Structure 1
Amino acid sequence: MVSGTVRDASTKETLPYVSVFFKDTKIGTQTDLNGNYTLSSNQPQSALSFNYVGYNILTKNITPSISQTLNVVLAPSANSLDEVMVVGGKKVRYRNKDNPAVELIRQVIAHKDENRIKSYQTVAYQQYEKMLFSVSNVSEKFKNKKMFRNYQFLFQEQDSTLIGGKNLLPVYIQESLSDQYLSKDPLKSKTVVKAQKQVEFDNRYIDNKGMKTYFDRMYQDIDIYQNNISVMSNDFLSPIANGAPNFYKFFITDTLKNQKPQIIELSFTPRNTGDMLFEGKIYVTNDGQYAVTGATLGVNKNINLNFVRAMKIDLNFEPNALGKYNLSKSNLLSDFGLGKGKGIGFTGERTVTYKNYQFDTKLPDTVFQGKSKVVLADAAKKNDSYWQQNRLDTISANQLKIYKNIDTLQNLPSFKRTMKIVTLLFAGYQNLGPYEIGPVNTFYSFNNVEGLRLRLGGRTTPELSKRYYFENYAAYGFKDEKWKFFLSATYSINNKSIYEFPQNYIRASFQRDTKIPGQELQFVQEDNFLLSFKRGVNDMLLYNDFYRVDYVKEYENHFSYTLGLKKWSQTPAGGLYYQNDASQFVNRLTTSEVSVQLRYAPNEKFYQGKIYRSPIADRYPVFNLKYTAGLKGVLGGEYNYHNIMGSIDKRFYLSQLGYSDVTFEGGYIAGKVPFPLLDIHRANQTYAYQLSSYNLMNFLEFVSDHYVSINIDHNFNGFFFNKIPLLKKLKLREVVSFKALYGGLRDENNPALTSGLYRLPDYEDGSKRTYALGNDPYMEGSVGVGNIFKLLRVDLVRRFNYLNHPEVSEWGIRARVKFDF
């Protein structure tokens, strides 16, 4: 094995894509973006040959059968040329027809299947991955601020070949070493992680697993042979995708004839610089195989991509014994920042090295048994000696120091104080050791019934106990002069934090509080201050007493189930009342329920926050099924009924047309029940755009005992706006949505047709307030503009039918804060 760096003899700059071969053989490689190369052979070799256009060919002797380092410099070749006159003429319009570059890329596309790694019956190889994140382009003035006086040991000098300025502040590093197995027929894959390590932050402030998962989602494996390449949670069209000639311009910019096979350099650029497309170069063999031997991918400065100031992807391929090329190394480097300038940014780099390929060898069936990814029990326990001997790539001493530096940092009192403040601001909790107070955004709110509402509460942490967890809050409404409170006790069966995946716990709780019927929120507390602002008539509220016992069990494959027992007593308040068919007002309704909920989210990834798990959007579906049985005569329950609900959520990626989030849902209630126990459809009377609610439906406007619904939210990622000059510069993105709800009431649950039920509510003026859906489904849709100031989405929402209902609007404007790349 021979490795080293190739530089220019005059400037000493590193040279990328220099061809390096063992002399008189076809065993070769190319230098990467930083001029580095590694070449190996299982036979003794005596010399290396270095070839690069514009430089003299260089041959260097090596010691056979010994691993060694060989750094070389190439001398530019000097040629005397006659005078050349270039005359500018009419600009030739770019066309695909009769374009040799396009014909060549079509040959590359036609030969994709035979050149990709999946063309072999079986493949086995080793993979080493290193991911590094740093605060970049740190100025000396910033570095020497008083607040960093105790943290000078963290700073490093930035490599001049990378993106950014002089100083780096490394904050995170992770490594993994794995064995990879692929089978073509049947199609199977298996990953066995033999060793892994990462910087570990204090779990009180940061979800380490979630952070690793989020970075893995942003920096996925780069397969240029795929039609779409996922980077920064966006799908980029590959330059060799089937439809690439329709979106890219291609140019033949060089032919490397001094090596076998000849290599053609193809440069490409987007037809529209704002689209999710790459620009750069690919290197292709000119031997009828049309295999990719290397690629450099970047993005145009005008691309509709948030916060990304620069990005480089470097792919190196090497020939194997079968005469084909396989990926030997990939490097993805990106620089993030709020502006286009040279200010402080955030640099992320992922390097993956692939070695020891074995093709078409017999793999035992036991290899693919079990889960597709297995982490060995001792993977996180490997010592430094193991890593030093088994890394497939080099790692600098400065990068290795990051592990120790972050450990030292977390022990500094000033850093601990800073993290407490940051956690309070962003997560809403103030950590006091065994107990934390929060969430802050619920401390103050208001509504028409309670008036000013103050709340204070918190929960215990694993510092108190890893088995027992307690949560509580107390709230007081100054208008209704009533106290509300919540108490819960949880026992962790697997002796892990109940906020850590996979969960396995039993919880008992009691809650006395208010709720708006028909308001269902995702990832937001109901008494969040911002939700206090509502449109229209908003005077309905329920006083609820919940007695609950729940058992939650999750599995590593992301299947989970929840068993529940609940007693629920509800009392209407404000403009809401319960009145039976004898015109008598009912002050209290009590039900007792048992339930089982099944959930399956294959390959789900999420970040575990202080309150909610925040899912990391991906292409995999999420299935939910819930069954609830009402028990009459048990714990005071007044009704027997059966309620079953199911849903499927999935994101569809449509390449250059963006992506769609689709939810299909349905429910059915068997039994005779009053309207508070029916499906009260999710409504929204706030000014925030809510993805899962009907944004122009009023609270408690529709109830059903059977229904189906579909919700489609599509983001075009600026596909159309990128063609309009002004909008292209603003990097706005177009979004559309459509929601339809079809359902109704059977005669036995319709109080107009059946006795013994509560009357549907009316407004104070006697006009009807609550309805059953008729023959037509409820429908609404919206068109919107996203990425305003890179954070805001504003929708113009239209309600298509049931416009004769009182207090409804045909049009509305709603806004939503959304952070996206």
Structure 2
Amino acid sequence: MKAKLLLTISLLLSVVAWSQTKVSGRLFDTFNEPVPFANVLFKNSNEGTITDENGRFYLESSTTYSTVIFSFVGYQTKELELGRRTSYDLVITLEEESSQLDEVVLYTGKLSKENNPAIDILRKIWENRRENGVKKFKQYDYDKYEKLEFDLNTIDSALMNSRLFKGIEFVFDYADTSNVTGKTYLPIFINEAIYKVYGDNEMNLEKEVLEGNKNSGFSNNQAMIEFVKELYADYDVYDNYLKFFDKAFTSPLSRTGIDVYNYKLLDSAFRGDKWCYNIIFYPRRKGELTFRGDFWVNDTTWAIKEINMHLNKSANINWVKEVYIEQEFDVLNDSIFLLKRDHFMSDFSFSKKEEARGMYGKRTTLYENHVFDNKKDRSFYKKQVDPYRRETYNRPDEFWEENRMEALNKDERQIYVMLDTLQTVPRFQRLYNIGSVLASGYYELPGFDLGPVFSIFGYNEAEGLRVRAGGRTYFSQNDQWRLEGFLAYGFKDNKFKYGISGKWLLDRESRLIVFGGNRRDVEQTGASLTTSNDVLGRNLASSSLVSVGANDRLTNINLTTFGFQVEPVKDLTFRTTASYRTLKSATDSFSMDYYDENGQIQSEITQPEIELSLTYTPGIRTSGFGVERLIINSGKYPQFFLGYTYGVEGILEGDFEYKKLQTLYTQPWNIGGLGRLYSTVEMGKIFGEVPLGLLSPVPGNQTLFSIYNTFTLLDYYEFVSDTYASIHLEHNFGGRLFSRIGFLRDWNLREVIGFRAIYGQISEANSALNASNIVYQAPEDIYYEYSFGIGNIFKIFRMDFNFRGNYFENEGARSFGVTGSFGFQF
């Protein structure tokens, strides 16, 4: 009896093991040239894929198939009998057809837009495109389940035997194979979240409430989760452009899609209970932000039932080798299609070579339990919910078993076990600490971080070589209070500098924060037009190791601040700051002298101020719920700032009474397939008489770095004003132009153009106060610059060629300059 049971189990396991089919390889023509975008299909099924630009393919099914079919226009269809369930590294050759067969009905050859049935169907989609899904209703709410996962891929014996994994080899017992790429991967992180989503299309409001969150043992993973969410921002395949990775990808359903895609009608069949057409698409040119794949579209509503998209591997995007998107829609009735499942997978890698190792980032989102037209008051959407409820992050297993919309598979369940075990391995902790320093710039100790390590060394004319050591309290990213400080020493002036600040979050719901601090330091004042009293803030101009010309117009500053800020409505912050500062020149070659009311020359300014400000940042995404939050989508959201400052005279020996009004508006713009434009407008005015140290210098740039919102060819204090208006424009085409030039296409370079201008005035009364040794003026004739840049050099460097537009007569005026910047961008 026992032997029979064992035999039965063995047979069942054999059936399960055999009940799947995997094939991979490359497709060539008779000239040994790859055949891109060809069809690969299991015989007698709708399960298939399309070869990539290099003719590579991978196809997997949980069903057993014995034959795979290869076909492409202009070639003879080929069937291959599979001798085993797993067939990797196949090399298939297709022979050209001598003539096209008349009986081919679905598509024949490279059809024009006028006689291509796929284009006719695409036009039907455009004609019937409308607000679909939840947008069809006045109000909606639904449940959302989201699963994020990271996997180390391209696992081989060399990696398993490397010193990196010495002592933690057990992790490879959890490796598996991707059903998209066919690569072996090792899961290293998983996070699950349950949300309740509410929306009102009449008021254009939406609210997302986190009901539960669970992860693989990393308690401080909020930044990682938010970062992945930002990368995989929600998108609508009906939009002309799909926006993620800071890029705008042309959707295959775009009205401009026929200019960048080829479309072919492949099949028609029932998908569920709906008759649908199957259309494949692939890019017309290399280097563009496009996809290859297929979609099924209903024959009456012309709504998408399923769509699969693979990133065009030659697309001008860094660090991403593969992107796979899969969406399924459910039919609510004959006309409403609701998004049911959204799967997004990326293969991050330093190289796009096939054998290069990398990391998969996966996001799977499921939607269910839709309720419509359940109206709620505007106050419901505006009221903030405490985002850090302890019970949300400590839900019992029963909660997840009940609320998961998709059960975890065996590998996903084991991730929790493996990663919880890793936390106890000292070698893993050491590797984790090294990665943490590189990512945050701080070396972590229990309750305290040393750093930032990248600010240890600096140089300027006043201090010479400068060394700095600092740190901050840090128990978790949700700390309600934080202390931070530094100590620095200059080897030229032989002086110590220091700074200390503290802040405390009094109320998490309204984000009421009290803050204060003191700093004695050397600073390049006027490095930006819109100023703030951040007590530990320091700009690059004050400590750049290399500069253009003499960087000697530096100030000794002693700044003390105290204030509070509150966020009564999401993304809207009010701030009140009381400050006291003294300013004095830090070098003998620079003077801030001014005439006092008695006509005597004074060299030091003592000035108390009260500042009121409002900052509005709609769309900002942050991580953490403590006194400090990490901005996830920096550079992607608009910002509006309005500040009013009152200078107090007589109290605390204040020297001047004045009022200052400042405003700033910055906005990033995605210009469809033409890249991204950054724009900033700043305006300000000082009411009252003030000396040089309290005026608004036009921010020059004497470093070799490209710094946005500065004027690259201006020296510090070359222009000074009490009334100003400036505009900064910078457009990155993302390689749209270079990709059309043959010999430049493979370099993946990106074109950047910029324009900067400022108008300013300075009153005669303020000019008369000047007793310094520098001559300055206001840009009353509108000073301007323009630049041309080449980005993505070696994927990390950008070089800008800057040209001065006017004021060539200024002493020492620079008419041309080259600057650069480093950065990791997709």
Task: Tell me the distance in 1 between the aligned counterparts of 2:264 and 2:292.
Answer: 12
Whether the 8 Å CA contact 2:649–2:655 is kept in 1: the answer is yes
Task: Tell me the distance in 2 between the aligned counterparts of 1:468 and 1:82.
Answer: 68
Q: By how many angstroms is 1:450 displaced?
A: 1.9
**Residue identity in the other structure for 1:305:** I
Determine the structure 1 residue equivalent to 2:123: 106
Q: By how many angstroms is 1:317 displaced?
A: 2.2
Aligned in 2, Cα 1:283/1:367: closer, same or farther, shift over 3 Å?
A: farther
Determine the structure 1 residue equivalent to 2:342: 330
Aligned in 2, Cα 1:638/1:183: closer, same or farther, shift over 3 Å?
A: closer
The answer to whether the aligner puts 1:514 opposite 2:546 as a matched pair is: no
Task: Tell me the distance in 2 between the aligned counterparts of 1:454 and 1:302.
Answer: 45
Q: By how many angstroms is 1:305 displaced?
A: 1.2
Helix, strand or coil for the counterpart of 1:417? Answer: helix
Q: By how many angstroms is 1:655 displaced?
A: 1.5
Task: Tell me the distance in 1 between the aligned counterparts of 2:569 and 2:45.
Answer: 51
Determine the structure 2 residue equivalent to 1:505: 513
Q: When the two structures are superposed, what TM-score results if normalisation uses the length of structure 1?
A: 0.82
- Match among 345, 363, 370 for residue 350 of structure 1: 363
Whether the 8 Å CA contact 1:444–1:529 is kept in 2: the answer is no
Whether the 8 Å CA contact 2:138–2:373 is kept in 1: the answer is no
Task: Tell me the distance in 2 between the aligned counterparts of 1:362 and 1:579.
Answer: 68
Task: Tell me the distance in 2 between the aligned counterparts of 1:617 and 1:249.
Answer: 36
Q: By how many angstroms is 1:209 displaced?
A: 2.6
Determine the structure 1 residue equivalent to 2:105: none
CA deviation map 1:510-550 (0-9, x unaligned): 22111123224999854799712100122221111112223
Aligned in 2, Cα 1:638/1:514: closer, same or farther, shift over 3 Å?
A: same
Q: By how many angstroms is 1:265 displaced?
A: 1.5
Whether the 8 Å CA contact 2:565–2:575 is kept in 1: the answer is yes
Equivalent residues in 2 for 1:87-126, closer than 5 Å: 87-88=98-99, 95-113=112-130, 115-126=132-143
- Match among 297, 320, 338 for residue 309 of structure 2: 297
**Residue identity in the other structure for 2:648:** L
Determine the structure 2 residue equivalent to 1:641: 658
Whether the 8 Å CA contact 2:562–2:577 is kept in 1: the answer is yes
Determine the structure 2 residue equivalent to 1:158: 176
Structure 1 stretch 211-220 or stretch 138-147: which is displaced more? 138-147
Whether the 8 Å CA contact 1:131–1:174 is kept in 2: the answer is yes
Q: By how many angstroms is 1:93 displaced?
A: 6.5
Structure 1 stretch 140-149 or stretch 219-228: which is displaced more? 140-149
The answer to whether the aligner puts 1:797 opposite 2:799 as a matched pair is: no
Aligned in 2, Cα 1:590/1:391: closer, same or farther, shift over 3 Å?
A: same
Task: Tell me the distance in 2 between the aligned counterparts of 1:548 and 1:652.
Answer: 36
Determine the structure 1 residue equivalent to 2:500: 487
Whether the 8 Å CA contact 1:791–1:820 is kept in 2: the answer is yes
The answer to whether the aligner puts 1:477 opposite 2:490 as a matched pair is: yes
Measured on the aligned residues, the alpha-carbon RMSD in Å equals 3.8
Task: Tell me the distance in 1 between the aligned counterparts of 2:284 and 2:525.
Answer: 51
- Match among 251, 257, 278 for residue 244 of structure 1: 257
Q: By how many angstroms is 1:734 displaced?
A: 0.7
Task: Tell me the distance in 2 between the aligned counterparts of 1:180 and 1:467.
Answer: 28
Task: Tell me the distance in 2 between the aligned counterparts of 1:436 and 1:780.
Answer: 42
Task: Tell me the distance in 2 between the aligned counterparts of 1:679 and 1:54.
Answer: 66
Whether the 8 Å CA contact 1:9–1:74 is kept in 2: the answer is no
Q: Percent identity?
A: 27
Whether the 8 Å CA contact 2:593–2:602 is kept in 1: the answer is yes
Determine the structure 1 residue equivalent to 2:696: 679
Helix, strand or coil for the counterpart of 1:321? Answer: coil
Q: By how many angstroms is 1:306 displaced?
A: 0.9
Q: By how many angstroms is 1:684 displaced?
A: 0.9
Helix, strand or coil for the counterpart of 2:126? Answer: helix
Q: By how many angstroms is 1:334 displaced?
A: 1.4
Q: By how many angstroms is 1:717 displaced?
A: 1.0
Q: By how many angstroms is 1:455 displaced?
A: 2.6
Task: Tell me the distance in 2 between the aligned counterparts of 1:372 and 1:715.
Answer: 38
Task: Tell me the distance in 1 between the aligned counterparts of 2:236 and 2:548.
Answer: 49
The answer to whether the aligner puts 1:703 opposite 2:720 as a matched pair is: yes
Whether the 8 Å CA contact 1:108–1:290 is kept in 2: the answer is yes
Helix, strand or coil for the counterpart of 1:808? Answer: coil
Determine the structure 2 residue equivalent to 1:629: 646
The answer to whether the aligner puts 1:819 opposite 2:820 as a matched pair is: no
Structure 1 stretch 622-631 or stretch 254-263: which is displaced more? 254-263
Q: By how many angstroms is 1:812 displaced?
A: 0.8
Determine the structure 2 residue equivalent to 1:772: 778
Task: Tell me the distance in 1 between the aligned counterparts of 2:772 and 2:111.
Answer: 67
Gaps of 5+ in 2: 1-14, 24-39, 49-61, 70-75, 79-94, 101-107
Task: Tell me the distance in 1 between the aligned counterparts of 2:213 and 2:477.
Answer: 30
Equivalent residues in 2 for 1:497-576, closer than 5 Å: 504-520=512-528, 525-526=538-539, 531-554=544-567, 557-574=570-587, 575-576=589-590
Helix, strand or coil for the counterpart of 1:365? Answer: coil
Task: Tell me the distance in 2 between the aligned counterparts of 1:697 and 1:490.
Answer: 36
The answer to whether the aligner puts 1:369 opposite 2:380 as a matched pair is: yes
Aligned in 2, Cα 1:563/1:199: closer, same or farther, shift over 3 Å?
A: farther
Determine the structure 1 residue equivalent to 2:621: 605
Aligned in 2, Cα 1:474/1:331: closer, same or farther, shift over 3 Å?
A: closer
Q: When the two structures are superposed, what TM-score results if normalisation uses the length of structure 2?
A: 0.82
Q: By how many angstroms is 1:184 displaced?
A: 4.0
Helix, strand or coil for the counterpart of 1:683? Answer: coil
The answer to whether the aligner puts 1:264 opposite 2:273 as a matched pair is: no
Aligned in 2, Cα 1:300/1:366: closer, same or farther, shift over 3 Å?
A: same
Structure 1 stretch 335-344 or stretch 153-162: which is displaced more? 153-162
The answer to whether the aligner puts 1:13 opposite 2:21 as a matched pair is: yes
Task: Tell me the distance in 2 between the aligned counterparts of 1:271 and 1:301.
Answer: 13
**Residue identity in the other structure for 1:515:** E
Helix, strand or coil for the counterpart of 2:825? Answer: coil
Task: Tell me the distance in 1 between the aligned counterparts of 2:17 and 2:151.
Answer: 32
Helix, strand or coil for the counterpart of 1:771? Answer: coil
Whether the 8 Å CA contact 2:266–2:278 is kept in 1: the answer is yes
Aligned in 2, Cα 1:273/1:213: closer, same or farther, shift over 3 Å?
A: same
The answer to whether the aligner puts 1:392 opposite 2:419 as a matched pair is: no
The answer to whether the aligner puts 1:316 opposite 2:333 as a matched pair is: no
Task: Tell me the distance in 2 between the aligned counterparts of 1:696 and 1:381.
Answer: 55
**Residue identity in the other structure for 1:603:** G
Determine the structure 1 residue equivalent to 2:58: none
Gaps of 5+ in 1: 1-6, 16-33, 36-49, 56-70, 752-756, 763-767
Q: By how many angstroms is 1:54 displaced?
A: 10
Helix, strand or coil for the counterpart of 1:686? Answer: coil
Task: Tell me the distance in 2 between the aligned counterparts of 1:185 and 1:641.
Answer: 46
Number of positions where the alignment pairs a residue of Structure 1 with one of Structure 2: 742
Determine the structure 1 residue equivalent to 2:299: 286
**Residue identity in the other structure for 1:418:** L
The answer to whether the aligner puts 1:436 opposite 2:466 as a matched pair is: no
**Residue identity in the other structure for 1:797:** N
Q: By how many angstroms is 1:391 displaced?
A: 1.0
Whether the 8 Å CA contact 2:591–2:772 is kept in 1: the answer is no
Equivalent residues in 2 for 1:45-56, closer than 5 Å: 52=45
Q: By how many angstroms is 1:122 displaced?
A: 4.4
Task: Tell me the distance in 2 between the aligned counterparts of 1:760 and 1:272.
Answer: 61
**Residue identity in the other structure for 1:545:** N
Aligned in 2, Cα 1:506/1:411: closer, same or farther, shift over 3 Å?
A: farther
Task: Tell me the distance in 2 between the aligned counterparts of 1:12 and 1:419.
Answer: 37
Whether the 8 Å CA contact 2:340–2:367 is kept in 1: the answer is yes
Determine the structure 2 residue equivalent to 1:593: 609
Whether the 8 Å CA contact 1:442–1:529 is kept in 2: the answer is no
- Match among 587, 592, 603 for residue 578 of structure 1: 592
Q: By how many angstroms is 1:308 displaced?
A: 1.4
Whether the 8 Å CA contact 1:191–1:373 is kept in 2: the answer is no
Structure 1 stretch 477-486 or stretch 374-383: which is displaced more? 374-383
CA deviation map 1:361-417 (0-9, x unaligned): 441325982249966954333211111122111211321333343343334333333
Whether the 8 Å CA contact 2:499–2:520 is kept in 1: the answer is yes
Structure 1 stretch 552-561 or stretch 648-657: which is displaced more? 552-561
Helix, strand or coil for the counterpart of 2:421? Answer: helix
**Residue identity in the other structure for 2:592:** Y
